Amino acid sequence: MISRSLAISGAAVALILSGCAATQPEIEAAHVGSPGLKTVLGAGVAEPTVDAGDHEVSSAVRAGLIEAFDRQAQKAGVKIVAGGVPVKISVVEYSTRSNVARVMLGVLAGRDHIKATVNVGDARFDVEDSAHSAINGIDVVAEDVGIEAANGVAKLAGLPVGQ
């Protein structure tokens, strides 16, 4: 009986955590930028800006996304400097659940979701994350999108990318 409970608990934790981890973005060959971009990125990038478009993105979500980008960029070896290559994160899709709905209804309340296009120099790529569980909300999604954006910039700079 105990082993069955442990197996169910382990499966539940795996299900909750799956799909929430930030990944490395796929960057299409047509969007990797000019041959000199890798060299320019070596000198550093500017702190990213977030363009929410018509979406109502809170200042806390914006700040969380930028902080996660900064931390991951530093881990990956991407320098953030004043006057560096501009990084613009444009929100394309955005949805959030209320905390009450997320906690009370969990997956039945829908999902928290951010999809954005990252423009760095003359290159661009998409990043995206969603949370369906009652545990993770829009703050975790924003963090994962920031990490994924920084991983993409590191890839463009030719740096090794990790989590």
pLDDT of residue 91: 98
In this predicted structure, what is the pLDDT of residue 105? 60
Total domain count, the chain: 1
Domain membership flag for residue 162:
no
* 110 dihedral zone (left: phi>0; alpha: psi -120 to 50; beta): left
Alpha-carbon gap, residue 35 to 123, rounded angstroms: 10
- Residue 119 counted as domain residue: yes
The alpha carbon dihedral of 45, 47, 53, 57 has a sign of positive
- pLDDT in the model for residue 13: 45
Instruction: Evaluate whether residue 12 is within a structural domain.
Output: yes
Position 163 in a domain: no
- Is residue 161 domain-resident? no
> What's the confidence (pLDDT) of residue 145?
97
Predicted pLDDT of residue 14? 45
58 part of a folded domain: yes
Comparing C-alpha atoms, which of 84, 162, 97, 93 is closest to residue 131?
97
> Strand 87-95 vs strand 123-131: parallel, antiparallel, or unpaired?
unpaired
Could you tell me if residue 78 is inside a domain? yes
Q: Which domain holds residue 78?
A: 2-156
pLDDT by position in tens, the chain (length 163): 555 554 444 444 444 444 445 576 776 655 567 788 988 999 999 999 999 999 999 999 999 999 999 999 999 999 999 999 999 999 999 988 766 655 556 555 567 899 999 999 999 999 999 886 766 778 899 999 999 999 999 999 999 886 5
